[in-house]
Amino acid sequence: MKKANVTMVVAALLTASAATAIVRAQQPNVERKVLLQQDLTIAGYQNVLVAVTIPAGGREGRHTHPGTLLVHVLEGVMTLDHEGRPTATYKPGDTVYIEPGRVHEGLNKGTTPMRAIASFVIEKGKPLTTPVP
């Protein structure tokens, strides 16, 4: 493998690891696991696929994302507080779109873990999540 390719792969892995570590440090009760990080055919953009688990009674904390986010609920129920929209509840099979820069927070008001797959389309080098006080 060429040195430039190795450098790009290492940089991508470090970015994913750092983003995951930052999010976990801020929200210890929410589990996020990067499943795939892939460059897109759109120059400078990537897709990051993340498995998310919010335990019963857990919450993400208010935050934003620099790019488009699609969340598909697999198990449990997620309540979403979303800037500019009424609070909504999503159950297994439901998918929600969250615009870039929009303040939101996923909560699990249920008694079982909520599991979802989140797909981010973001510019390379930008953090996946930015906390909002």
pLDDT in tens, 110-120: 999 999 999 99
Q: Helix or strand or coil: residue 3?
A: helix
What residue ranges in 4-44 does DSSP mark as E strands? 31-39
85-98 pLDDT, tens digit per residue, is 999 999 999 999 99
Q: In a 3-state reduction of DSSP, which class is residue 92?
A: coil
Domain that holds residue 127: 3-131
Total count of domains within the chain:
1
User: Could you tell me which residues come within 8 angstroms of residue 41 by beta carbon, excluding any fewer than 6 positions away?
Assistant: none
Nearest alpha carbon to residue 74 among 49, 99, 57: 49
Q: Where residue 125 sits, what CATH number does that domain have?
A: 2.60.120.10
Tell me if residue 6 falls in helix, strand or coil: helix
Q: What is the pTM of this model?
A: 0.76
- Pick from 30, 18, 22: which is nearest to 105 by CA? 30
